[in-house]
Each structure stands twice: as structure tokens, then as C-alpha cells.
């Protein structure tokens, strides 16, 4: 796709306030594939003013009509799914098949789910002698990451629009082209001018300006816990609502009676998917000591099959970060059974699928989010030990439990301090709430819980 040289504000592509641009690089071959404007506080201010002006009309639009606009948006995205996949592959480096199956298909499904919810959600209820209304929170500032670039945009924009909010989006600087494609789709779907606005730019400039803007009622951010903490402090000082979807270090707990081969193979696939750039990836595999050696061997064999199948990581900086963690794992005494701390290719930001054995819970690679194709396999003595290790990080975003007896897996999962757990390989559900405990975030995305984030409550007594 061709990049726009402006911002999408108030229903039209407009020139940016300044001249600076951001180069978009294909991580597979390191070639510049386009440039987008580097927005400033002035661009953010223009966009927020447009959103504020459009807000009353959109709030007053009947839910059924908002649902119709979202259905149209879903249909436009669906018609452009090949272009979406090709764009994400070009700017993120994901293999095309994966971009088609996940980066294009999942956001289309999520947009469809909100088109439906917009028309069926109970925005008012009777409670005793009161009528309780759920009203849109107002103007939403959305700041999205690069790892699932369109999914993360739709997971914020669709519920915000369904709720009756207006939105200003600041997408990740690595993957702005699919955000421009989304703005084109919004335009084509006939959403009123100013209801959705796009400002491309750098996080410390445009993202900061959006988080600080007094005309923004809610800041929804997905990204690192460090940046999330900064945004929460800005929002807290302004007594402004915040929704944060942050890091993870999720545990894949394989109980002794589980189907070990299946649990290990699915677990490795989960970590290598999207080149490990998934906040909810099960990057810690916990195995009972009696089956540990067998699991490590299976994991090494499984990882070897991904050598040619995974794409690069997003940038030179990310490659350096991930390789640095692999080096640290070796330095702290973990045993490398697959992968390497050296880049596997001369060109492109590639990292070999990596598996560590003899990882102890206190090692850096078992505590910090690496965000690359790196799996740590840890040994446990019994279920209490497994639970202590699983819960022993600052994060709590996702997880998995495998057991021959499903009830046993559920009982274990209920004791995990985490926002969602897959039992024996349960499938991703776009209607289920997604979000974390502890430092993995505040609030939930997807489904009815995701819609509720963009609403505030008013009661009238009779």
C-alpha cells in the first residue's frame, strides 16, 4: 500500500503540523518501504479537538445505527483482508500465512463481535427505584503496539465506537501503515467525520501529548509495563480513567498426568508464533522433575522445526534486546538446547528459535519479558511447587494448564494469579475478556467486558 503523507483528522487526510517523518522498515530485508509523518503535540491537539466536536453527535446516535456503521467497517476490513495481511507482513515481518490467519482474520472477527454487541448491549437497566444508564466515557486516547498492529487497534477502536465514544489513535511507529489502512476503512464505512482520528508519531512525543491532553477522558494503552506505569502516573494526576494491557511472563504448567508430547509441542508453537512477540506467550514451561528430561528433548526437537518458519523480530533494537537476553541466560547458567545468542542471518532482524533447560525461577530469563522466540523450561517437585513458580513473577496476563484429568487442571488454574488460562489447549476466544492481574495491567479488552471499559455509570432515582 502507499503511505499517506498526512494525518487522518476530522474525516480527511490533512498535512502534519511539522515536516519530520518516520521511516518504515521491512524487518526481513532492512529496506525502507515508506514514510509517515512524525506527529507533534499540535497534531494531537487538532485531532482531540475534532474528536470533542464530533462526540455529542455520535453519543446521540442510536446504538442500532452505531452497530450498522461497525458492520460496514467489518465488511470493508474483510474485503481488504489480503491487503491487510500483505501490509503487516511488509512492516512487521510476519510470514504471509500467519498474517492472513491471525493479523487479518482476528481483527475482522473482533470488529464483527462489536458490531453485534453495539446493537444488543444493555445500556440501561432498572434497579429498584432507579434507572441506571451506561454512557460513553467521552474522548478516548488509544496508544497501540506493533506486535499485533491491527488487532490492537480494533480491540480499542471497535468497543470505543460501539460505546458511543470518539477516538484519537496513536499507533506504534514501527507499524503505522496498517493503521493508515484502518483509517481508510473507517472512512469507507461512512463513520461521521471526527469520530475516529489518526495521528502517527513517536511515543515520547505524540503518545505523551495524547496521554497528557486535557481533552482526553480515557487513555487506553497496550505496551510495556514501564511505559504503562508512566501513562498511569500522568492519568492519575489528572484523575483520568486508564486502561492498560501490559507485559507478561506466562506459565505453561504441565501436570504429571498430561499428554506430554502434545503439551510440549503446543507450548513451543505458542512461544514461536509471531516470533515470540506476544505479551501472553507461555514463555515459561513448568514440568514435573520425573518427566523433565523428556520434555526438554521434545522441546528442542519442536523448536528445530521452526528454524525456517518464523519471521524476524520487528527491529534491530528488538533483535539486540532478545539476543542480549539469550546471552544473559547462558551467563547465569541455563543450558541452551536450541538456538543461539548470535543472529542466524546476515540480513534481517532474525533470532533463532531458542530453548533453555536448567532454568531456575530466579534467573533473569525466568522473570523478565523477553519478547522474542525464547522458551525457558523449569523443573518442579509437586503441584504446590509448580503453583509457587507459576505465580512467582510480577506479571499475570495468561497461562496454560495441561492434565489428563480436566477437573484437576481447572482446580490448578483457579489458583493461578493470572487473567486467562487455556486448559488442555483451549482455543483463543475473541468474546472472552483479555487482560492481566498484577503488573500485567488494568482493565479488560474484548467482548462485553471490553465494551464496559469505555462506559461510565449514571443513576436516576424515581
Give me the CATH number covering residue 448.
3.40.605.10
Judge if 234 and 265 occupy the same domain.
no
Provide the number of structural domains found in the chain: 2
Please tell me the distance from the alpha carbon of residue 434 to that of residue 438, in angstroms, as a whole number. 14
What sign has the CA pseudo-torsion 282, 303, 317, 5? Answer: negative
* Ramachandran bin of 113, using left for φ above 0, alpha for ψ from -120 to 50, beta for the remaining angles: alpha
How far is Cα of residue 116 from the mean position of the Cα atoms in its chain?
22
Fill in the DSSP letter of residue 424: S
Please tell me the distance from the alpha carbon of residue 433 to that of residue 279, in angstroms, as a whole number. 15
User: Within the chain, what is the greatest distance between any pair of CA atoms?
Assistant: 72
* Ramachandran bin of 201, using left for φ above 0, alpha for ψ from -120 to 50, beta for the remaining angles: left
Judge if 159 and 35 occupy the same domain.
yes
Question: Which is the catalytic residue, given 86, 91, 173, 279?
Answer: 279
Judge if 369 and 227 occupy the same domain.
no
Flag whether 256 is in a domain. yes
Low pLDDT (below 50) residues in the chain: none
Q: What is the value of pTM for the model shown?
A: 0.98
Judge if 182 and 281 occupy the same domain.
no
Flag whether 1 is in a domain. no
Look at residue 137 in the predicted model and tell me its pLDDT: 98
Judge if 312 and 297 occupy the same domain.
yes
Judge if 43 and 165 occupy the same domain.
yes
Question: Which is the catalytic residue, given 245, 369, 445, 453?
Answer: 245
Judge if 207 and 257 occupy the same domain.
no
User: Which residue range forms the structural domain that includes residue 273?
Assistant: 251-429
Judge if 130 and 16 occupy the same domain.
yes
CATH number at residue 415: 3.40.309.10
Task: Tell me if residue 279 is catalytic.
Answer: yes
Flag whether 419 is in a domain. yes
Judge if 304 and 320 occupy the same domain.
yes
Flag whether 335 is in a domain. yes
Look at residue 2 in the predicted model and tell me its pLDDT: 78
CA neighbours closer than 13 Å in the CB half-sphere of residue 373: 35
Judge if 194 and 284 occupy the same domain.
no
Please tell me the distance from the alpha carbon of residue 184 to that of residue 13, in angstroms, as a whole number. 9
Look at residue 231 in the predicted model and tell me its pLDDT: 96
Look at residue 307 in the predicted model and tell me its pLDDT: 82
Flag whether 350 is in a domain. yes
How far is Cα of residue 73 from the mean position of the Cα atoms in its chain?
20
Look at residue 3 in the predicted model and tell me its pLDDT: 85
Task: Tell me if residue 165 is catalytic.
Answer: no
Which residue in 453, 425, 448, 429 sits closest to 106, CA to CA? 429
Judge if 32 and 161 occupy the same domain.
yes
Look at residue 121 in the predicted model and tell me its pLDDT: 98
Flag whether 105 is in a domain. yes
Flag whether 382 is in a domain. yes
Which residue in 455, 382, 145 sits closest to 274, CA to CA? 145
Flag whether 434 is in a domain. no
Judge if 400 and 443 occupy the same domain.
no
C-alpha cell of residue 167: 477516538
Look at residue 1 in the predicted model and tell me its pLDDT: 67
Amino acid at each position: 500500500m502507499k503511505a499517506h503523507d498526512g494525518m487522518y483528522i476530522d474525516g480527511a487526510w490533512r498535512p502534519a503540523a511539522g515536516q519530520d517523518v518516520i521511516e518504515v522498515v521491512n524487518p526481513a530485508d532492512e529496506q525502507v518501504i515508506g514514510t509517515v509523518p512524525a506527529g507533534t503535540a499540535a497534531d494531537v491537539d487538532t485531532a482531540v479537538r475534532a474528536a470533542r466536536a464530533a462526540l455529542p453527535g455520535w453519543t446521540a446516535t442510536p446504538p442500532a445505527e452505531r452497530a450498522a456503521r461497525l458492520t460496514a467497517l467489518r465488511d470493508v476490513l474483510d474485503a481488504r483482508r489480503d491487503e491487510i495481511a500483505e501490509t503487516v507482513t511488509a512492516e512487521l515481518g510476519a510470514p504471509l500465512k500467519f498474517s492472513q490467519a491471525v493479523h487479518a482474520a482476528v481483527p475482522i472477527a473482533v470488529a464483527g463481535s462489536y458490531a453485534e454487541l453495539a446493537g444488543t448491549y444493555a445500556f440501561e437497566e432498572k434497579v429498584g427505584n432507579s434507572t441506571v444508564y451506561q454512557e460513553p466515557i467521552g474522548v478516548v486516547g488509544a496508544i497501540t503496539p506493533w506486535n499485533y498492529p491491527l488487532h490492537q487497534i480494533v480491540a480499542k477502536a471497535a468497543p470505543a465506537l460501539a460505546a458511543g465514544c470518539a477516538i484519537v489513535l496513536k499507533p506504534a511507529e514501527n507499524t503505522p501503515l496498517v493503521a493508515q489502512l484502518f483509517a481508510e476503512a473507517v472512512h469507507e464505512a461512512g463513520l461521521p467525520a471526527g469520530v475516529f482520528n489518526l495521528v502517527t508519531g513517536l511515543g515520547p512525543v505524540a503518545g505523551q501529548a495524547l496521554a497528557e491532553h486535557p481533552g482526553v477522558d480515557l487513555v487506553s494503552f497496550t505496551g510495556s509495563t514501564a511505559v504503562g506505569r508512566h501513562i498511569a502516573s500522568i492519568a492519575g494526576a489528572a484523575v483520568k480513567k486508564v486502561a492498560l494491557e501490559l507485559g507478561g511472563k506466562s506459565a505453561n504448567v504441565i501436570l504429571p498426568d498430561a499428554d506430554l508430547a502434545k503439551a510440549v509441542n503446543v507450548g513451543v508453537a505458542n512461544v514461536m508464533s509471531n516470533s515470540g512477540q506476544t505479551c501472553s506467550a507461555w514463555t515459561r514451561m513448568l514440568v514435573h522433575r520425573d518427566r523433565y528430561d523428556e520434555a526438554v528433548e521434545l522441546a528442542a526437537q519442536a523448536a528445530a522445526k521452526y528454524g525456517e518458519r518464523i519471521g524476524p523480530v520487528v527491529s534491530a533494537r528488538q533483535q539486540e534486546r532478545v539476543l542480549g537476553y539469550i546471552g544473559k541466560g547462558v551467563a547465569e547458567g541455563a543450558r541452551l538446547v536450541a538456538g543461539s545468542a548470535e543472529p542466524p542471518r546476515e540480513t534481517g532482524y532474525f533470532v533463532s528459535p531458542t530453548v533453555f533447560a536448567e532454568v531456575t525461577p530466579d534467573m533473569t530469563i525466568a522473570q523478565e519479558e523477553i519478547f522474542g522466540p525464547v522458551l525457558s523450561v523449569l523443573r518442579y517437585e509437586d503441584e504446590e511447587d509448580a503453583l509457587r513458580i507459576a505465580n512467582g513473577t510480577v506479571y499475570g496476563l495468561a497461562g496454560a494448564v495441561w492434565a489428563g484429568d480436566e477437573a484437576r487442571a481447572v482446580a490448578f488454574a483457579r489458583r493461578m494469579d493470572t487473567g486467562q488460562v487455556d486448559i488442555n489447549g483451549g482455543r483463543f476466544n475473541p468474546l472472552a475478556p483479555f487482560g492481566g492481574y498484577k503488573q500485567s495491567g488494568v482493565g479488560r479488552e474484548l467482548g462485553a467486558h471490553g465494551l464496559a471499559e469505555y462506559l461510565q455509570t449514571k443513576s436516576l432515582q424515581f
